[in-house]
């Protein structure tokens, strides 16, 4: 993975390869105000993934090529992210003032006990965060690892599009950073963002502009799609297409959506309870929702009512300028799905490790 971390580019495309859509965003951050200069959101046909492992390379390749044409960017450099059970992100505590070589040696020793795979089967990376407040005399270091097959397969597909992947990150980290930059601001109150995707629900918690918790849960909109397909004797792909194109019958939402929203509520409550138990913090009074699930009709309003919480839609572009060539209405319609892509598009601002 380390060979992918190159010097930051002037313009980099945030490329989010989900299990149902490929999303891309290009941002101009040269001035004081961030501007959206291009975006694309293309569905992946069929069942291209099993969990987060790629099974249909052709379907993803076609979606990537459509995204490459749709985003209309001269730059080919992009940042991608991975997620799932074979992706690990842990905070470890190390001795301060070590050289990069010394820190890398210690990290590999730590990784051998923390990662349930042989080290030659994973890519490792790490970043020193800050002096630890809980472990006196130590520094916090974020250790990240991902299975080589997951990384290599995505890099191969992305390069064929053609894009040039220069950064590989972890989705939960990117979502958290996107929320800090474009949603949570610098207020002292604790804020929560929940990304409801097709197969994963990711939660991140921000306090005073700093991420204090993030976790993935295996649950998503696929459950809603499968219920509709079974009840109406339809193919799941046909259901997905109608939902994505906003042409689904109203009966699908009136008959099936309330059950799904109830399930979403239960999963979110369990996720928040896990956060409280892990951090010993108070239960949040509300959260922001993004991802494909945030586009379901009235889901924020229904969750807010059922959970007695303030539930809002996270639109990462709310405070951004939009280039006149960009379809503003279409951008707004898919904005919650582009939260991770938006976070990836800012990665040129960071000093990445070599």
Selection from 169, 198, 188, 192 nearest residue 22 by Cα: 198
Judge whether residue 354 has pLDDT over 70.
no
What pLDDT shows up at residue 3?
44
Q: Which residue is it, tokens 């601002």?
A: 349
Residue 82 belongs to some domain of the structure? yes
Closest CA relative to residue 313, chosen from 328, 330, 298, 331: 298
Report how far residue 7's alpha carbon sits from residue 278's, in angstroms, rounded to the nearest whole number: 36
How many domains does the chain divide into?
1
Kindly state whether residue 204 falls inside one of the protein's structural domains: yes
User: Collapsing DSSP states into helix, strand and coil, what is residue 349?
Assistant: helix
Is residue 207 in some structural domain? yes
Q: Tell me the Ramachandran region of residue 233: left when phi exceeds 0, alpha when psi lies from -120 to 50, beta otherwise.
A: left
Per-residue pLDDT at 94: 86
Whether 354 is covered by a domain: the verdict is: no
Q: What span, in angstroms and rounded, lies between the C-alpha atoms of 312 and 191? A: 11
Q: Measured between alpha carbons, how far is 108 from 105 in angstroms, rounded to an integer?
A: 5
Mean pLDDT value across residues 209-227: 90
Q: What is the pLDDT of residue 353?
A: 40
Would you say residue 263 lies in a domain? yes
The pLDDT of residue 6 is: 41
- Across the beta sheet with 21-28, the strand order is 164-170, 77-82, 13-17, 21-28, 35-43, 321-322
Residue with the larger pLDDT of the pair 141 and 61: 61
State both tokens at 140. Answer: 């916090």
Where is average pLDDT lowest: 48-52, 60-64, 286-290?
A: 48-52
Percent of the chain with pLDDT over 70: 94
Categorize the per-residue pLDDT at 119 as very low, low, confident or very high, splitting at 50, 70 and 90. Answer: confident
Which residue in the block uniquely carries the two structure tokens 């700093």? 210
Compute the distance between CA of residue 259 and CA of residue 311 in angstroms, rounded to an integer: 18
* Minimum mean pLDDT range among 50-59, 166-175, 217-226: 50-59
pLDDT greater than 50 at residue 352: no
In this predicted structure, the answer to whether residue 286 has a pLDDT above a threshold of 60 is yes
Specify the pLDDT at position 184: 67
Write the pLDDT tens digit of every residue in 239-281: 988 887 778 889 988 999 999 999 999 999 999 999 999 999 9
| Residue range of the domain that includes 220 | 2-349
Please state, as a whole number, how many other Cβ atoms lie within 10 Å of the Cβ of residue 200: 22
Q: What is the CATH number of the domain that holds 70?
A: 3.30.420.40
Question: For 171-191, what is the mean pLDDT?
Answer: 82
pLDDT in tens, 288-341: 999 999 999 999 999 999 999 999 999 999 989 999 999 999 999 999 999 999
- The pLDDT, as a whole number, for residue 328 is 92
| 270 in a structural domain | yes
Considering only CA atoms, which of 163, 165, 164, 127 is closest in space to residue 145? 127
The pTM assigned to this predicted structure is 0.88
Residues 6+ apart with CB under 8 A from 353: 2, 5, 125, 126, 127
Q: Is the pLDDT of residue 147 over 70?
A: yes
Q: How high is the pLDDT of residue 185?
A: 58
pLDDT digits (tens, 9 = 90+) for 80-102: 999 988 888 888 888 888 887 88
pLDDT at 350 over 70: no
Query: Is 90 inside a domain boundary?
Result: yes
Tokens of 30: 């040269």
Query: Residue 182 carries which DSSP code?
Result: I
Above pLDDT 90, what percent of the chain? 56
What pLDDT is recorded for position 9? 41
Task: Please give the average per-residue pLDDT across 93-119, as a whole number.
Answer: 83
Average pLDDT over residues 194-209: 92
Calpha distance 340→21 (Å, rounded): 12
Please provide the average confidence, as pLDDT, over all residues in the chain. 88
> What pLDDT is stored for residue 186 in this prediction?
54
pLDDT at 2: 44
Tokens 């009840």 label which residue? 231
């Amino acid at each position: 993975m380390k060979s992918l971390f190159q010097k930051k580019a002037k313009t980099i495309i945030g490329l989010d390869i989900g299990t149902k859509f490929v999303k891309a965003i290009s941002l101009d951050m040269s001035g004081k105000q961030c501007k959206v200069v291009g975006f694309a959101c293309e569905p992946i046909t069929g069942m291209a993934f099993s969990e987060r492992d790629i099974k249909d390379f052709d379907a993803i390749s076609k979606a990537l090529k459509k995204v490459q044409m749709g985003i209309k960017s001269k730059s080919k450099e992009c940042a991608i992210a991975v997620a799932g059970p074979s992706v690990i992100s842990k905070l470890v505590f190390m001795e301060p003032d070590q050289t990069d070589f010394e820190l890398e040696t210690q990290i590999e020793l730590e990784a051998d006990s923390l990662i349930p795979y042989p080290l030659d089967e994973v890519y490792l990376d790490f970043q020193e965060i800050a002096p630890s407040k809980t472990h006196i005399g130590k520094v916090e270091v974020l250790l990240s690892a991902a299975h080589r097959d997951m990384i290599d397969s995505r890099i191969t597909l992305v390069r064929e599009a053609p894009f040039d992947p220069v950064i590989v990150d972890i989705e939960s980290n990117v979502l958290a950073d996107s929320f800090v930059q474009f949603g949570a601001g610098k207020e002292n109150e604790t804020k929560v963002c929940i990304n409801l995707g097709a197969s994963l629900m990711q939660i991140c918690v921000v306090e005073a502009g700093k991420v204090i918790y993030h976790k993935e849960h295996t649950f998503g909109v696929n459950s809603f799609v499968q219920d509709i397909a079974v009840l109406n004797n339809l193919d799941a792909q046909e259901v997905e297409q109608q939902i994505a194109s906003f042409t689904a019958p109203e009966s699908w939402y009136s008959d099936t959506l309330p059950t799904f929203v109830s399930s979403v509520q239960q999963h979110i409550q369990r996720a928040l309870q896990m956060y409280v138990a892990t951090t010993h913090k108070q239960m949040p009074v509300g959260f922001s929702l993004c991802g494909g699930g945030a586009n379901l009709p009235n889901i924020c309003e229904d969750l807010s009512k059922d959970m007695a919480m303030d539930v809002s839609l996270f639109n990462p572009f709310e405070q951004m300028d939009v280039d006149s060539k960009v379809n503003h209405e279409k951008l707004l319609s898919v904005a919650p799905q582009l939260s991770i892509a938006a976070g990836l598009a800012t990665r040129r601002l960071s000093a990445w490790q070599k």
